[in-house]
Structure 1
Amino acid sequence: MGSAHSREADARKHEDHEPEEEDFLISSSNGSGRAHEILKHDDAFAVIDTHGDIGAFGDRGNGFFHNDTRYLSRLELLVAHSAPLLLGSALDATDLQLCADLTNPDVYAEGALVLRKDAIHIYRTSYVRENAIRQRLHFTNHSSEDVKLAVSLVFDCDFSDIFEVRGMRREKRGTVNRQIQSSQSVIYAYKGLDNVVRRTTVHLDPKPVSLGETAALYYLHLAPKQSAKLYFAAVAESRHAAKPCSYVKGLRDAHRTLRRAEHETTSVSVSNSELDAVIKRATSDLRLLTTSTEDGPYPYAGTPWYSTTFGRDALITALQVLWLDPGMARGVLRRLARFQAQSHDADADAQPGKILHEMREGEMAALREIPFGRYYGSVDSTPLFVLVAGAYLQATDDRDFLVEIWPAVQRALEWIDGPGDPDGDGFIEYARETDSGLSNQGWKDSQDAVFHRDGSLAKGPIALVEVQAYVYAAKVWAARMANELGDVARAESLLQQAEALRVKFERDFWCEDIGCYALALDGEKRQVAVRSSNAAHLLFTGIANPERAVRIAEQVLSPNFFSGWGIRTIPASEIRYNPMSYHNGSIWPHDNAIIAAGFAQYGLCDLIQPVFDGLLDAALRMDQQRLPELFCGFRRRTGRSPILYPVACAPQAWASGSMLHILSSLLGLRIDAASRTITLKSPRLPASVGAITIRRLRAGGGSADFVLKKKYRSVIADVTDSRGGAKVIMA
């Protein structure tokens, strides 16, 4: 996901690893072996096991988190002093609640069986809302006898920074104070070394028989078929007090918000039920990951460890779903403009005009024990920012926002031509300024992701192939924006710069020996002559020579690259290929989606289907039909599922957006908001798709509903409704 500073385990197995980056490795150690689910709302999320517990049996990675701090480290239900048995567990259809069905084990007293298992059904539901995790426990006696049952809830807070949870050790930390506030509540307060006081308030309803600092005890007396309910809430507070809210009210508000969002955004439904389930899962996961910020909706990169503001991830996600939800792109651009670097800061790899890579709000970030408080170590976020700003304008005709964002676009262009190109050779490049920064700063930011043909690591400053293409596209889009603002001279200058870059790029990056553009130029301006999926990103931007674009497309769909599930990051023929590697042989859905969009850009529409079918088949074999951040690049075998990458984020924003992105490429979708025109250029409908119904697709001030279906060998569009002058045309 372009966040590999914390997950470079595979890269570090090489003898030339850089040990200082091991500090950011995620610990995968678990105690119970229970599966877990993610619940999230805005800046709060919970990693909770399928029983509804947190931290049971030493599951160290679980917890309820807010702004990179764990506000609840343990929550465990005990029935008759034992863990209940799991009958089943799943997220509800809206992904708002985890619903777990539990029952009691056999209960003995003085060697005699006093309660047979399966007598009590426990329906335990959990959700996260308004900086709180809330649970409802519904007990029903299904036996024919009265039951007296001891029920305990055990809880605690450690206020660990998320990087501590991920495995980092600290020499010093603040202090936790625990205090029983009332007969139904306990308050935990942590004064950090950053002098911020963080609090968790635990509420219980009804009043327990006894309440301690870390446990509550109830005695339930249930007649046959009788039920009882218990409620638990843990509310996180740091700089702002949380709003009081009951379980029922919070859930009702969440459903209302969901229904409103569904009514306001574009919807896609597919006649093929399997694909429809994949699409619904993707849109649901994107909704889960999108946080309401003061700047607008912003897709956080992924859960559990990347539930925060990332630049590159959000920009690519916004681009993937621009046709469905342009408001996301506006929120992303506005937020990144606000946090655009204003000055030089070597520790943060920041220069004026550069766009943010990652932002953290925990104690360790505030104390600079980690470099990611506001960290700018990505070379591609800045050109992508300009590119997305231009694409947003075309999709919305939002000129007022263009006026607002244009100063940030100009500063980004100044960085591209200035600090981004320190030697003035016309290519932007990266080299970290301190040892604490990322050694590689493209989307493949593993320590071993940029290497020469003999396997030796390339030394910087490094000019990545896809980044030059992003710059080319950024300048083309910036020219269009300048024209819109009436600055014709600036527009012409930007187009001339883009053309000069294209010519120089073709000369310096094409490598006939491998029949591909080189992965990069190293610090000595030598070609890094390695085939990579990076080179296929060029098609998306339009910089590639058409004949060479076809050669690249054919390469990435050859068995050397294409596993049957998707396109690998590097082909099996390269020396560092490893299908279990994070960046050197794995399959990334977003990478495939960008490549498929490039096929559409060059009119190679028939080549999109193998990528689409491979990822669809993979998704159908994944848990909950959800594409993860990445999976292993092993060759597809009959009767076998794709092999998972152990610590891949799921859900993850640009993975969730991938199938939606490829679907728009299949349809040849182009939106011109100024003319309120929706164009479908050479659309393709594979058998795996069937008919597609799209509602409320916006084009400027208009929108349209239409159905696409196959008729003989052609695709036809049936426009069922049109508003505000929107037009749907086939081309």
Structure 2
Amino acid sequence: MEYRVIKENDLFLLTDRGGDITGQEYGHGLYTKDTRFLSKLTLKINGLRPVVLASGADQNYISQIVLTNPAVEVSGEAAEAALPRETVELKRVRFIYQGVLYESVTIANYNPAPASFRVSLELDADFKDMFAVRGFITGELGRKTGIEPIGDGLKMSYLGVDHVSRNLRIEWSVPPDNWEKSQDGAVVCYDMELGAGESRTLDFYLTPVIGSEQPARYPHDEAIAELRQSYREWEEQSTAIDSDLPLFNRLVHRGMQDIRILLTDLGCGPFPTAGLPWYAVPFGRDSLIAALQLLPMQPEIAKGTILTMARYQGTKNDPWRDEQPGKIMHELRSGELANSGQIPFTPYYGTIDATPLFVILIEEYVRWTDDIELLREMLPSIARALEWMDACSADEGRGFVAYSQESSKGLVNQGWKDSDNAIVHRDGQLANAPISLVEVQGYVYQAKSKLASLLTTVADQIGDRRELTEWAARLEAEAAALRERFEAAFWMESEQYYALALDREQRQVATITSNPGHLLMTGILPAGRMAAVSSMLVSRQLFNGYGVRTMAEGETAYNPMSYHNGSVWPHDNALCLIGLSQNGFQEATHKIMDGLLAAAEHFENDRLPELFCGYSTDYGMPVSYPVACSPQAWAAATPLVFIQAILGLRLDYAAREVRLRPSLPTGMQEFSVRRMRLGSGYLQVRITRRHGEYNIEIAHNTSGWTVRKESALSDSQAGTPSASSDRESRSENDLIIL
């Protein structure tokens, strides 16, 4: 990464590698509530920017940068200076806690004699809305109202067109020798006199304030201690993973650390925001999928996500925001442009898949945790979500959930591939809306069929059994009818694969893409079709050696540098992995896991980015996508899906059985899971592989569930009608009780 970013709850800081905000490059700044509160933060020594020696990005919650003084240039030539080059060290350490940015600058003199020099900080706050920073919107904005001294610091103020006052408080532990207003902000100066080997630390506190709500400032040592403790608790409360493959261990650790930094709480519990730097806000689809991926590690995050999405569930028809009753939001913004009605993100509902994913997450969360009370609480929200799906499917008699843009400032495409050119026919023509996406029909099927099963199982615990079983029966019938319609409309016999979508005329969008891979986890596919989907996912057209491409090489619209038409998205692969592993496609599962592990070695800090280019392994390394978010929630959570795939884990909630079909990736011979939450207890499992044979050891099981080992299937067996039925009713000889 060419930038450095730290975040805590709703406040994040984006700088260059030296820790500076220049005000011009890449949207650097200090942000909260979609507003840039700090647009310039430049550290200088004797009027020059120091040289970067080290800039760490391995710890998400604290940034440590080491700098030194440059040479002094006179008439273009190096000259002897009172301060020789590389003799003063400047160490910047910063973190965020409870809405305040803490920064310490420690200046050390490594000259053999006393040294005199000036250290200065140039600061400014432009209070720009995030959409204006990114150049998306050029609407009416407010005005800065001045800079004034306040106690041990100064304050920069702004009044928005939304009539909300915003200000930035800049305070210090050591009073400067002087500070003054500049043309574009303020300059704070310290005249340093340091003896040989002497050092001095300057602490600064930067606090964004909206309206009259001013966060409290804590003593520096107390704040960092509390922040570190919160990370320790996050780790201690999460499932512990270990293996004899160090890269995998690092990838899981990085993923969990990245998820932690992306958590935000709007009052309903913590949930993952989409990604940094531009999407540190609630995103329906992204937050729901990341929470789904997190279930084996931190199921409680799903609860915060569910409650947050329910809080903002649509209540009315509002074309400006693409809102309908029962619909789950796409994106929530709270900056000046949103507050003043110039953009529709308050929230915006232009997403076709968040609503079924919301129901799916509730179902899966309840299966993992036995949180029947949450299910009871969410039944009205679930009912409204299902009513929206039914109304959407009935629109124009299509029979499938479909989308079309209503808001003039909304999204043209409203699935996860939401760029304007993502849904394209094989002749290069863009599909006309309404558009029915292939994976969304699978999500709807999964939401209805699994809810029917869950309601039948827990009916006595949550309400009127007769009423709930009748509801379940209706859902089962609706799911079966959808499955039949879907197969007739989306299957492409000539390609032995499923179409990407149906367009306005109900024509198949026949382009070969990764989207049908999501169907494997939904249950909508007939048993005989699953092998065909698995085979296509790991074919040369779609699989580039590191992962499944979003679009197959050779398609008219294929472009390895495209955002959605040929790139590789880790989360897309993860959703394919869930279905592949659940249905026994071990060879394909291995291929994708091995590819993503190989890719991760080449990215900074063992971090899978949002996406990377679709070029094959012939290049010797994955090709980075230039503006990918990193860290990004569903990419960070992708290694956590490996855990389900490695265990071959399936939950049979009605039978209270955990079924395991282990499959370790290349290079891994031992794998263990500790503190995995299941029901009201925990599960500890150790897998070893010797000479191709797997041994499963259950070291601890307080879940009350029975653990069974399933016999392995080859990919040629997996997904066949006989194998599928076998998985549901194996004999005692095939299912080994552990």
Q: What is the TM-score of this pair, normalised by structure 1?
A: 0.92
Matched, 1:143 2:111: yes
Task: Please tell me whether the aligned partners of residues 139 and 342 of structure 2 are also in contact (alpha carbons under 8 angstroms).
Answer: no
Task: Please tell me whether the aligned partners of residues 390 and 480 of structure 1 are also in contact (alpha carbons under 8 angstroms).
Answer: no
Alignment-derived partner of residue 67 in structure 1: 33
User: Which moves more between the two structures, 520-529 or 477-486?
Assistant: 477-486
Quote the Cα distance in structure 1 between the aligned partners of 2:578 and 2:452.
Answer: 22
Alignment-derived partner of residue 511 in structure 2: 530
TM-superposed CA distance for 1:561, in Å, is 0.9
TM-superposed CA distance for 1:109, in Å, is 9.3
Which residue among 570, 574, 578 is the counterpart of 2:551?
Answer: 570
Which residue among 645, 650, 654 is the counterpart of 2:634?
Answer: 654
SS of 2:532's equivalent? helix
Quote the Cα distance in structure 2 between the aligned partners of 1:235 and 1:673.
Answer: 48
Quote the Cα distance in structure 2 between the aligned partners of 1:183 and 1:350.
Answer: 47
Which residue among 702, 721, 724 is the counterpart of 2:700?
Answer: 721
Alignment-derived partner of residue 690 in structure 2: 711
Cα 1:182–1:196 change in 2 (3 A) is closer
Alignment-derived partner of residue 158 in structure 2: 190
SS of 1:113's equivalent? coil
TM-superposed CA distance for 1:77, in Å, is 0.6
Task: Give the percent of matched residue pairs that are identical in Structure 1 and Structure 2.
Answer: 37
Task: Please tell me whether the aligned partners of residues 546 and 602 of structure 1 are also in contact (alpha carbons under 8 angstroms).
Answer: no
Which residue among 256, 260, 265 is the counterpart of 1:292?
Answer: 265
Cα 1:521–1:109 change in 2 (3 A) is closer
SS of 1:577's equivalent? coil
**AA in 2 matched with 1:231:** D
Matched, 1:218 2:183: no
**AA in 1 matched with 2:25:** D
Alignment-derived partner of residue 71 in structure 2: 106
**AA in 2 matched with 1:201:** R
Quote the Cα distance in structure 2 between the aligned partners of 1:197 and 1:281.
Answer: 38
SS of 1:134's equivalent? strand
Matched, 1:695 2:667: no
Alignment-derived partner of residue 199 in structure 2: 227
Mapping 1:190-269, distance limit 5 Å: 190-213=158-181, 214-239=186-211, 240-269=213-242
Cα 1:46–1:421 change in 2 (3 A) is farther
User: Which moves more between the two structures, 671-680 or 383-392?
Assistant: 671-680
Q: What is the TM-score of this pair, normalised by structure 2?
A: 0.91
Task: Please tell me whether the aligned partners of residues 278 and 620 of structure 1 are also in contact (alpha carbons under 8 angstroms).
Answer: no
Alignment-derived partner of residue 709 in structure 2: 730
Which residue among 59, 62, 76 is the counterpart of 1:97?
Answer: 62
TM-superposed CA distance for 1:169, in Å, is 5.1
TM-superposed CA distance for 1:183, in Å, is 5.9
SS of 1:429's equivalent? coil
Task: Please tell me whether the aligned partners of residues 672 and 699 of structure 1 are also in contact (alpha carbons under 8 angstroms).
Answer: no
Task: Please tell me whether the aligned partners of residues 311 and 381 of structure 1 are also in contact (alpha carbons under 8 angstroms).
Answer: yes
Quote the Cα distance in structure 1 between the aligned partners of 2:288 and 2:66.
Answer: 39
Quote the Cα distance in structure 2 between the aligned partners of 1:518 and 1:575.
Answer: 15
Alignment-derived partner of residue 455 in structure 1: 428
Task: Please tell me whether the aligned partners of residues 105 and 117 of structure 1 are also in contact (alpha carbons under 8 angstroms).
Answer: yes
Quote the Cα distance in structure 1 between the aligned partners of 2:518 and 2:95.
Answer: 39
Task: Please tell me whether the aligned partners of residues 41 and 128 of structure 1 are also in contact (alpha carbons under 8 angstroms).
Answer: yes
Q: 1:142-188 deviations in whole A, cap 9, x for unaligned?
A: 22101112110111101000011101453532121233324631111
Task: Please tell me whether the aligned partners of residues 353 and 411 of structure 1 are also in contact (alpha carbons under 8 angstroms).
Answer: yes
**AA in 1 matched with 2:641:** H
Quote the Cα distance in structure 2 between the aligned partners of 1:537 and 1:696.
Answer: 29
Alignment-derived partner of residue 422 in structure 1: 395
Alignment-derived partner of residue 180 in structure 1: 148
Alignment-derived partner of residue 131 in structure 2: 163
TM-superposed CA distance for 1:419, in Å, is 3.5
Which residue among 488, 500, 503 is the counterpart of 1:519?
Answer: 500
TM-superposed CA distance for 1:96, in Å, is 1.6
Quote the Cα distance in structure 2 between the aligned partners of 1:542 and 1:561.
Answer: 22
Task: Please tell me whether the aligned partners of residues 521 and 578 of structure 2 are also in contact (alpha carbons under 8 angstroms).
Answer: yes
Quote the Cα distance in structure 1 between the aligned partners of 2:653 and 2:499.
Answer: 37
Task: Please tell me whether the aligned partners of residues 462 and 520 of structure 1 are also in contact (alpha carbons under 8 angstroms).
Answer: yes
Quote the Cα distance in structure 1 between the aligned partners of 2:73 and 2:370.
Answer: 71
Alignment-derived partner of residue 22 in structure 1: none
Cα 1:498–1:82 change in 2 (3 A) is same
**AA in 1 matched with 2:70:** P
Q: 1:335-386 deviations in whole A, cap 9, x for unaligned?
A: 1011000000001111100000111000011122222221111111111111
Is there any run of 5+ residues in structure 2 with no aligned partner, and where?
A: 460-464, 711-738
TM-superposed CA distance for 1:727, in Å, is 5.2
SS of 1:637's equivalent? helix
Matched, 1:584 2:565: yes
Which residue among 639, 649, 653 is the counterpart of 1:669?
Answer: 649
Matched, 1:641 2:632: no
Quote the Cα distance in structure 2 between the aligned partners of 1:125 and 1:482.
Answer: 52
Mapping 1:541-552, distance limit 5 Å: 541-552=522-533
Mapping 1:406-485, distance limit 5 Å: 406-483=379-456, 484-485=458-459
Mapping 1:351-370, distance limit 5 Å: 351-370=324-343
Quote the Cα distance in structure 2 between the aligned partners of 1:510 and 1:672.
Answer: 29
Alignment-derived partner of residue 619 in structure 1: 600
Which residue among 445, 452, 471 is the counterpart of 1:490?
Answer: 471
Quote the Cα distance in structure 1 between the aligned partners of 2:109 and 2:334.
Answer: 46
Q: 1:257-298 deviations in whole A, cap 9, x for unaligned?
A: 111121112121222112211111111111111113311111
Quote the Cα distance in structure 1 between the aligned partners of 2:628 and 2:326.
Answer: 32
Task: Please tell me whether the aligned partners of residues 141 and 336 of structure 2 are also in contact (alpha carbons under 8 angstroms).
Answer: no
Cα 1:675–1:35 change in 2 (3 A) is same
Aligned residues: 694
TM-superposed CA distance for 1:247, in Å, is 2.4
Quote the Cα distance in structure 1 between the aligned partners of 2:251 and 2:617.
Answer: 20
Cα 1:135–1:418 change in 2 (3 A) is same
**AA in 2 matched with 1:134:** Y
TM-superposed CA distance for 1:693, in Å, is 2.3
Alignment-derived partner of residue 6 in structure 1: none
Cα 1:114–1:107 change in 2 (3 A) is farther
**AA in 1 matched with 2:535:** E
Cα 1:91–1:531 change in 2 (3 A) is closer
Quote the Cα distance in structure 2 between the aligned partners of 1:315 and 1:628.
Answer: 18
**AA in 1 matched with 2:679:** G
Cα 1:108–1:559 change in 2 (3 A) is closer
SS of 2:639's equivalent? helix
Q: 1:554-579 deviations in whole A, cap 9, x for unaligned?
A: 11211111111111111112110111
Quote the Cα distance in structure 2 between the aligned partners of 1:491 and 1:201.
Answer: 56
Cα 1:40–1:676 change in 2 (3 A) is farther
Task: Please tell me whether the aligned partners of residues 396 and 673 of structure 1 are also in contact (alpha carbons under 8 angstroms).
Answer: no
Mapping 1:35-46, distance limit 5 Å: 35-46=2-13
**AA in 2 matched with 1:131:** G
Quote the Cα distance in structure 2 between the aligned partners of 1:106 and 1:363.
Answer: 43
Matched, 1:392 2:341: no
Matched, 1:340 2:324: no
- Superposed CA RMSD in Å reads 1.8
Alignment-derived partner of residue 16 in structure 1: none
Q: 1:597-647 deviations in whole A, cap 9, x for unaligned?
A: 111232212210010010111011111111111111011116x21111111
SS of 1:233's equivalent? strand
Quote the Cα distance in structure 1 between the aligned partners of 2:122 and 2:276.
Answer: 25
TM-superposed CA distance for 1:219, in Å, is 1.2
Which residue among 345, 349, 359 is the counterpart of 1:376?
Answer: 349
Matched, 1:52 2:19: yes
Matched, 1:132 2:100: yes
SS of 2:116's equivalent? strand
**AA in 2 matched with 1:228:** R
Task: Please tell me whether the aligned partners of residues 286 and 656 of structure 1 are also in contact (alpha carbons under 8 angstroms).
Answer: yes
Quote the Cα distance in structure 2 between the aligned partners of 1:186 and 1:534.
Answer: 53
Alignment-derived partner of residue 561 in structure 1: 542
**AA in 2 matched with 1:648:** A
Alignment-derived partner of residue 86 in structure 2: 118
Quote the Cα distance in structure 2 between the aligned partners of 1:496 and 1:352.
Answer: 24
